[in-house]
Amino acid sequence: MPELTRAILLLMLIWVPSAFAGELSRLYQDALNHDADYAASLANYRAGLEKLPQARSALLPQIQLNANALQNRTDLSIAPVQNYSSNSASVNVTQPLFRQANLSQYEQAKQQSHANVALLDSKQQDLILRVASAYFDVLLAQDNLYVLQSLKTAIDRQLALAKANFAAGTSTVTDSDEAQARSDLTAAQLISAQNDLYIKQQSLSVLTGTPPIMLAGLDKQRPLPPVALNQLDNWITEAVQNNPQIRIEQANMKIAEAEITRARSGHLPTLDAVASYTDNRNQLFGNTFINSRSGNIGLALNIPLYQGGLVDSRIREAEANKDKASQELLASSRQIELGIRQAAYNTNSQAAQVTAYTQAVNAALTSLESSKLGLTVGVRTNIDVLNAQQQYYAAQRDLAAARYGYWLAKLRLKANEGALNETDLAAIN
């Protein structure tokens, strides 16, 4: 490939006009409207919202209307056959006054509603992390391809130089063979890098529903400050209040506690206010009518005496489930605390690596220039230059990986705190 064409392709790889650049925030908005997993979570959230009105309905009046229209035939041995029609209508109203099971069920529905909100928050933060991770994977694949293409160009120059020197008798065939081997190896790596970029782009497209494009890179001059590790305890305290998973487990704990109360209500009486009205109309032999109307209003008391040990068994089951919910809450709290510490230290580690790799890139560039100069004066070999080129481009690749690792670790830190939102993506843009 001509060097001018290669240079143009490399430039297109690292520079994309803003009109065509896929910004992280925009890709996240695309994912919100396309990702099937998040769409399923949103539908589950809407379904969960109906649990509260369903539970509330058990505390409100229950009204039933019953009606019938019948054609009757009565054949008695002591009376002639009677054919007559009858119509009946009744209205029954029940207002629960005390039903502990219904009250407990309503409390459980409120906690389930809180858990549904937390679950949707968790899914949204998970989507942010998945989009960011896929975005950085594409950027790293682009950088890796750029590095390999640049390395291939540099190696090919050294190969041409080695062949010219061998033809002139100033170097051995070893230099040409080594450069040729490096060139062939890099060509194979380029094929793998191109395939990797394609796969990473497709993975991002699955999330966003947009066709694969070359993404705009991050600002490489932007400083990447470490996080303050002395704030770890404060972040852990905030996570208890904000982390969606802990909120879900806390809601589950309260649901389990309400279930114990609900199970114990099996020993308690129920009291309802009841009222009914019935209108019966019977038509005998033509125009003879026998009508009746009745109504009643009062209280209905139901006292359970013995149910074969069912209530006590349900109480023991509910208490065991409460212990289970308590341990799951404790496990989640410990896991979140560990996740915060890991993400904080990983953020600082990546920031330190960015600093170190930046220096390594500069040092490797200096070494490469020195090796090239040494080759011209005869104190370095072509292999020394090839090794220096390999080291320089490897340092560039590692620097890019550390930079993306820093931002991803910082997002995971915010997610563990329960504070990750779209503004964090805008900050990365």
Tokens of 364: 């490797």
CATH number given to 64-97+269-303: 2.20.200
Strand partners, 69: 87
Q: Pick from 99, 409, 414: which is nearest to 272 by CA?
A: 99
Tokens of 218: 């991050």
CATH topology match: 3-59+99-268+310-428 vs 64-97+269-303: no
pLDDT score, position 71: 84
Tokens of 41: 């979570």
pLDDT score, position 19: 39
pLDDT score, position 78: 74
What's 3-59+99-268+310-428's CATH class?
mainly alpha
pLDDT score, position 16: 41
Domain boundary assignment for the chain? 3-59+99-268+310-428, 64-97+269-303
pLDDT score, position 319: 97
Task: Compute and round to an integer the Cα radius of gyration of the chain.
Answer: 38
- For the four alpha carbons of 306, 308, 314 and 319, in that order, the dihedral sign comes to positive
- Using 70 as the pLDDT threshold, list the residues of the chain that sit under it: 1-22, 79, 283-288
pLDDT score, position 287: 60
pLDDT score, position 18: 40
Please state at what angle helix 173-208 crosses helix 100-168, rounded to 10 degrees. Answer: 160
Residue 174 CA to its chain's centroid (Å): 55
What DSSP character marks residue 50?
A: T
